Structure 1
Amino acid sequence: MEKISVLIVDDEFGNRENVRRMMEKFFPHLILLPDCASVQEAQEVIGQQSPDIILLDICLGDKTGFNLLESLGNASPEVIFITAYDQYAIKAIRFSALDYLLKPIDPQELVSAVNKAINIIIGKQQNLRMQNLLQNNIRPDRKKKIALAVVDRIEFVEINNIIRCESDSNYTTFYLKNGEKLIVSKTLKEFDELLTPYNFLRIHQSHLINMEEVKSFVKTEGGYIRMNDGAIISISRQRRAQVMEALKYLT
């Protein structure tokens, strides 16, 4: 399961702390984003962090949780409304909220609602992976995509848009043609096995490169590769013969 993030939005500090304590107790594996006390604060956090679940108070000062949802655009988190007033329940249901909780919050009702959200999110993630798998079966090789699980989302990246991958302990950084960098909590070895069939080559313990993005090979200083993005990558002594052989076939 990918990491699932949760945002708590309530204009009362005590309520936010109460919900946070319950979430930490019952769902220690979830990522709790910084709490928000207003619609404006929540909009900023949602724009930056894209939470998977929002625990949303309906009354937020001079605005409401409904105002926040109306401003989300394409974002589609699972929303659990929290309210002290039962008359809001019908409106919450009409707004397609996943669930709603009445204050004071019953811990078991919170657990039930959040578990429901988690199951829906896992289903979405599995569906995205399956769609990507099916699409890969009909794409030309260089149009195939790889699913990269970064901190707050899953990115589907075309293989030919990857310039290189760099290892840092148990993390791998992907450098893309558009200048973006994606950090994934998996080792380079796993991606080496996935990408080697698509003309990627491990030229160093810490570097896997797209051979189609090689700009030049410099023989001095033990030999190194200059990539199209300007990166200079040393070739390990153990891999030099393999790299030299692969370079013969670049056109």
Structure 2
Amino acid sequence: MPPEEGDFLCGDWIWDAAPRELRNYPRKGKKHAEEPQAVERLKPVRSVTWHRWSQAPMQTATGQVLPPNHSRVVAAYEGGGDLTINEYDRGCAEKLAHAIAEAYGLQVIEEGAPGGRRSGNLPTKDQMGRLVNEAGREQIILDEVGGEITVTKRGRFWGKKRRTLRTNEVRRLELGYGVAGPVETFTVWGIVGPEEEKIPLASYSGYEGWADPEEWREFTRHLGRSLGVEARF
């Protein structure tokens, strides 16, 4: 008999916690096939990692265009080897990762690209030693030597508005992170003045899962020490 739809953990996957067995059923029309196309009875697992990353859309040899957002669950066995599950549906991948981890009393490790995150995505200072950040129609220049933050906003059609803040008005730094579609963004916010206005002092945007979060945390710590303020994450 074909499996009932209620038997599925998510997508095309059935997880049987008692024997710790994972089965994948191909679809036949609107229903699933009677027999699984893949069965894995898991051996003792030492770690479960859920990878999430994005890259430029790719086309297969058959002409199929792969989506830019990727997700992979890797269950590493204690005796060596692993079970690797590629699942584009991130909600389903999350369920699979947690189901396997819970069966072995483990926590899910969340990572970016499987090949490892890359360093070298930090902003650099210009020839005058200033940190310059472009954020939408705004340009923010942090001049630590001069003790100034200059915010210049371009008009929608013409003109510019410029204002200057003092670096001693910065109360603290906050490192923000967000994902929109295939793009992740790290932003170092300067929290300025009694009204705690958020000024984006530095930022980076690129495909999700490749930039190193620890590198950005250390950059924020260093900038906070230079400005004499707390850095929060």
TM-score normalised to the size of structure 1?
0.23
Bigger RCO of structures 1 and 2 (CA < 8 A, at least 6 apart): 2
Tell me which protein shows more strand as a share of its residues.
2
TM-score normalised to the size of structure 2?
0.25
Tell me which protein shows more helix as a share of its residues.
1
